[in-house]
Amino acid sequence: MRRRDFIKGVGLSFALPVLGQEGPPVKERVEELTAPGNPAITLNHLGFLPNARKIVLFRHPGSVAPAEFTLSEIGANAKPMRWTRPLRQVNCDFGPCLAGDFTDIEQAGLYQVTVGDLRSVPFFIRPDLWRRTLPKAFSFYFQERCGVAVPNVHPACHLDDARRRDNGQHIDVTGGWHDAGDLRKWMSTALHSGIAIAQLGRNLGKEWNLDGSGLKPILEELRWGNRYWLKMQDSDGRVWDDAAGGLNGDNSDNHWTDNRVGTADDRYINPSKSGIIQAEFVTVQALITQVFREADPGYAQSCLAAGLRCRKACTPGETTDELVSWAMAAMELYRATGEQDWGQEARQLGNQLHQLQVQEFLGGQRQVRGYFRNSPTDRTPYVNAIGSAVPALVLMDLAATFPSDPSSPAWGKAAQMHLDEYVQPLSERNAFRIIPYGIFEKSPTPEKYRPLAGELTYRYFMPARKQFWWLGMTSHLENYACLLARASAVFKRRDYLDLAFRQLEWVMGANPFGACLMTGEGMNNPYPHSRYVGLIPGGIMNGIAGNPQDEPILDMEYGFDWRTTEYWAPHNAWYLWAVSEIEKGRS
């Protein structure tokens, strides 16, 4: 399937490329795939912060449920401690489930939960629990560098990138990052990663890495990525969509080359110039301007000039995707320049976005509201595989950036409505507290949509019968973790932070498979769809997807299923951004 057709069908804030090999997957029996039904203890493989809420889940298919669990300290203490606590039945769309709470245990150490003869993975309670993972997740980008030799990963590669699809002209677009478990270079996801890396630096500064290296690694990685992004800017100021995306958006460019310009294996530039990618480019250049203002003022100004040249060549659209992307760009231009015109543009776009929020109970129900429509003319609920939380995140940012604007209180209330009357009630339908992929009007495709109320339904996972292209929910959950962590600090709501942790905990092992989706952390890791370099420490996989019955599926049988196990840059981006929001709120 062509990527552009998919993008039109789904509507994403960050335009999505097709991942991995586009041929038939190793397993196409999605009708039969389900999550394991055996009893299992599930919790975050990393563990918990000392003062965080601590929940363990026990999935049981039998009629007799255990009444209690035991928590044991298994570290090096001379007198290890044990606690026995009750298990209680909780509602869960994924089958019978019990929950236990040990939030009051705050002593740092290594622990394990037992239920009868079953043991959980060992896990820590420690204050640096999440922050210590940031360097590993960040290192994914260095290992994905293209156009240079990466020690212990691959030799110098793709020094012949690339020729235009339309006229065959060779243009030097070497550099950048391989996007996923493949060798292609999508501007959309790379720019999103640049945004997240800059946000990491903004949120935590020199303290982002506990090794004392300061901002230097962040500056170096941003500069590396930007070498490629700037090369992709055409003479009219706008940027091309991708390099190495194939001759016709196919998989033909997904290969190593001989590094010699003008031979048959040269890869292609896609000369299309999608609107959302332009907005992301402007946002990145404005962020880099701010990050480098002290370290390299000349470089900062040249990046700002490139961003302004792109912005002046574009006209924002009116879809939710366009509004959030361009509002973000205008806010960062305002921060980079201090010019009121950009602030005014950001506020105008924010008001347009606010108008797309559903503030009434529609569809014959009174369960949820506060979600967004796709556009002024497309009134169906907005769903987005890697950016469903971004509209509320942008409105909250606008309220904080322009507190004296007359619309500021309304923007803040809109973000809270989305969280309190959409996110919270939907997350309460499962014991894991994950936020479903989205709500729908009735059943738009021939598969299961769970009844919500009235004419509204919901799915935890992307529809598997809408089109060939669907994947796991890692970025979806991480970007909600980012929103919730930011909202916890802004609105002083501890329950938002608790829910942010639950989204990340699913990714890090508290899921029906007991599988940690970051290579190099946790236990029971799936083998990644990474056909060219294999395991990448810190890489995060697409994650758990759903079959037509909306039941969770994950390739745990080494099937190289790209839809669930492929690495993909947005997952690392949202992880870095979300954890940095959590850590910023704690400091």
Each residue of 196-210: pLDDT tens digit? 999 999 999 999 998
Cα–Cα distance, 281 to 466 (Å, whole number): 30
Q: Assign 16 a pLDDT band (cuts: 50, 70, 90).
A: very low
Tell me what pLDDT residue 76 has: 75
Q: Assign 14 a pLDDT band (cuts: 50, 70, 90).
A: very low
Q: Assign 39 a pLDDT band (cuts: 50, 70, 90).
A: low
Q: Which residues pair with 357 in a beta bridge?
A: 372
CA atoms within 13 Å, Cβ hemisphere of 548: 14
Q: Assign 107 a pLDDT band (cuts: 50, 70, 90).
A: very high
Each residue of 494-548: pLDDT tens digit? 999 999 999 999 999 999 999 999 999 999 999 999 999 999 999 999 999 999 9
Q: Assign 214 a pLDDT band (cuts: 50, 70, 90).
A: very high
Q: Is the predicted pLDDT of residue 115 greater than 80, yes or no? A: yes
- What region does 572 belong to: left with phi over 0, alpha with psi -120 to 50, or beta? alpha
Tell me the domains of the chain and their CATH numbers: 3-32+130-586 (1.50.10.10), 47-125 (2.60.40.10)
Picking from 254, 372, 270, the residue whose alpha carbon sits closest to that of residue 324 is 372
Picking from 399, 387, 380, the residue whose alpha carbon sits closest to that of residue 322 is 387
Percent of the chain past pLDDT 90, that is, above it, reads 88
Q: Is the predicted pLDDT of residue 22 greater than 60, yes or no? A: no
For the segment 43-71, the average pLDDT, to the nearest whole number, is 92
Please give the DSSP secondary-structure letter assigned to residue 208: G
Each residue of 288-298: pLDDT tens digit? 999 999 999 99
Instruction: Confirm if 562 and 21 have CB atoms less than 8 A apart.
Output: yes
Cα–Cα distance, 491 to 483 (Å, whole number): 12
Q: Assign 20 a pLDDT band (cuts: 50, 70, 90).
A: very low
Each residue of 142-158: pLDDT tens digit? 999 999 999 999 999 99
**What residue has token string 């629990």?**
129
Tell me what pLDDT residue 12 has: 37
CA distances from 38 to 61, 223, 304, 431 (A): 7, 48, 56, 17
How big is the chain by its Cα radius of gyration, in Å? 23
Q: Is the predicted pLDDT of residue 63 greater than 90, yes or no? A: no
For the segment 64-93, the average pLDDT, to the nearest whole number, is 90
Instruction: Confirm if 150 and 552 have CB atoms less than 8 A apart.
Output: no
Tell me what pLDDT residue 425 has: 97
Percent of the chain past pLDDT 70, that is, above it, reads 93
Picking from 468, 465, 423, 428, the residue whose alpha carbon sits closest to that of residue 443 is 465
Token pair in block for residue 114: 């037992």
Q: Assign 455 a pLDDT band (cuts: 50, 70, 90).
A: very high
Q: Is the predicted pLDDT of residue 15 greater than 60, yes or no? A: no
Token pair in block for residue 494: 């501890």
Tell me what pLDDT residue 114 has: 95
Q: Assign 80 a pLDDT band (cuts: 50, 70, 90).
A: confident
Confidence (pTM): 0.94
Tell me what pLDDT residue 401 has: 97
Cα–Cα distance, 33 to 26 (Å, whole number): 13
Residues found in the chain = 587
Instruction: Confirm if 331 and 353 have CB atoms less than 8 A apart.
Output: no
Tell me what pLDDT residue 4 has: 33
For the segment 55-84, the average pLDDT, to the nearest whole number, is 87
Each residue of 367-419: pLDDT tens digit? 999 999 999 999 999 999 999 999 999 999 999 999 999 999 999 999 999 99
Q: How far is CA 573 from the centre of its chain?
A: 6
**What residue has token string 């950036």?**
401
CA distances from 370 to 136, 281, 489, 567 (A): 36, 29, 20, 32
Q: What's the whole-number average pLDDT of the chain?
A: 92
Token pair in block for residue 141: 């980008």
For the segment 461-487, the average pLDDT, to the nearest whole number, is 96
Instruction: Confirm if 547 and 31 have CB atoms less than 8 A apart.
Output: yes
Q: Is the predicted pLDDT of residue 262 greater than 50, yes or no? A: yes
Q: Assign 75 a pLDDT band (cuts: 50, 70, 90).
A: confident
